[in-house]
Amino acid sequence: MGDHYSWQADFDYHHVWPELAFGWRVVAGTAIGFLGAAFGSVGGVGGGGIFVPMLTLIIGFDPKSSTAISKCMITGAAISTVFYNLKLRHPTLDLPIVEYDLVLLIQPVLLLGISIGVTFNVVFPDWLVTVLLIILLLATAGRAYFKGLDLWNKEAAAKCLEPAADGGGEVGEYKPLLGGPSQGATTGNVSSPQKREVTVINNIRWKELGLLTLVWVAYVTLQISKNYTAICSMEYWVLNLLQIPVSASVFLYQAISLYKGTKKIASMGEEARNLKLKQLTLFSICGLFAGIVGGLLGLGGGFVMGPLFLELGIPPQVVSATATLGMAFSASMSVVEYYLLHRFPVQTPCTLLECPFWLPILGST
């Protein structure tokens, strides 16, 4: 049954699963997991770039098992953060803080990439997985540093343009860099601070969330069904290929709606416009890439989704909440696949998941 899904290339692979006895390794791993979950929830990046090195270098798991357990920890952190975010409102507009249309656009290709990435993780040797992780972390860290430096310089320059406190003389126009669309302040769409938190029931767009859940259930069903087939059999390939029409149909439905203007990215405020074909193509490619890298290296995918959403002019708070919802679906999908592959001891993620599950709420507050 499940053994049929253990790839031939992985038969000789020996997992390293150390016992979690109380000691300095567990204490250090818990502290690092604390920081990874807290900061990951704020930035909407998941924290896999912290979890994987911690699990490998400190706890002592092999790289492939660390990847699988990292996805379990990301899932726990993402679920708790999503539950916290579901009742929050947009920082400047009378909208939910989660941009469901963006998640619905990128999630189908993200899940397809996850399935490919998990397959690569099984086939690739340990050294290649480790080298790819190091290269990716160095590249993203460098890009984040220079992006942050550029943002710092822009904010410093913008403060110099602020008018004097006495209202005399208009030096120049200043648009807040982190507050989202400035038009919300003049159109009357700003929600008062007292109304930013509402009940979860009234703050969820149920149609979009239902469609997201339907795609996730379809993928889980295909993965479980594939677990009962022999490798490279006709049924195996049919179930594998069925993932493509599932992703393509939902992505095309959402992409056509955003292209024709029947749907708009409401979080952009008055700047909301139809997405161009070039943007939709970029979303599909980046979503697939984020899924492959996430499934292969145990990362959340937020390092791709975050910058992509920011380019649309969406406030960082909304970007973080939106990316986290996408990661909740994609990371949990990875957990299902890795579980079917017997890639981690079940009791270990349950132990390590407690810290990432509760601490994102602390990081979000």
Name the most confidently modeled range: 18-22, 32-36, 227-231.
227-231
Domain that holds residue 228: 2-159+201-364
* In a domain? residue 188: no
* In a domain? residue 186: no
Confidence of residue 87 (pLDDT cuts 50, 70, 90): confident
Confidence of residue 348 (pLDDT cuts 50, 70, 90): low
* In a domain? residue 295: yes
pLDDT tops 50 at residue 306: yes
pLDDT tops 60 at residue 6: no
* In a domain? residue 82: yes
Q: CB–CB of 259/232 below 8 Å?
A: no
* In a domain? residue 140: yes
Which residues have a Cβ under 8 Å from the Cβ of 168 and sit 6 or more positions away?
Answer: none
**Among 27-31, 140-144, 218-222, 349-353, whose mean pLDDT is lowest?**
349-353
Task: List pLDDT tens digits, range 134-151.
Answer: 888 787 777 767 777 777
Q: Find the mean pLDDT for residues 352-358.
A: 53
Q: Find the mean pLDDT for residues 90-109.
A: 88
Name the most confidently modeled range: 78-87, 239-248, 302-311.
239-248
pLDDT attached to residue 246: 92
* In a domain? residue 189: no
pLDDT attached to residue 42: 66
* In a domain? residue 185: no
* In a domain? residue 169: no
pLDDT tops 60 at residue 360: no
pLDDT tops 50 at residue 107: yes
Alpha-carbon distance 227 to 124, whole Å?
20
Task: Provide the token pair at 244.
Answer: 């493509």
Share of the chain above pLDDT 90, in %: 13
Task: List pLDDT tens digits, range 179-198.
Answer: 444 444 333 344 444 445 56
Q: What's the chain's average pLDDT?
A: 77
Task: List pLDDT tens digits, range 194-249.
Answer: 445 567 787 888 888 999 999 999 999 999 998 888 887 888 889 989 999 999 99
Q: How many domains does the chain have?
A: 1
Higher pLDDT, 32 or 168: 32
Q: Find the mean pLDDT for residues 243-264.
A: 90
Alpha-carbon distance 199 to 204, whole Å?
9
Q: Find the mean pLDDT for residues 251-279.
A: 84
Task: Provide the token pair at 284.
Answer: 């599909």
**Among 221-230, 251-260, 264-273, 345-354, whose mean pLDDT is lowest?**
345-354
Name the most confidently modeled range: 105-114, 264-273, 338-347.
105-114
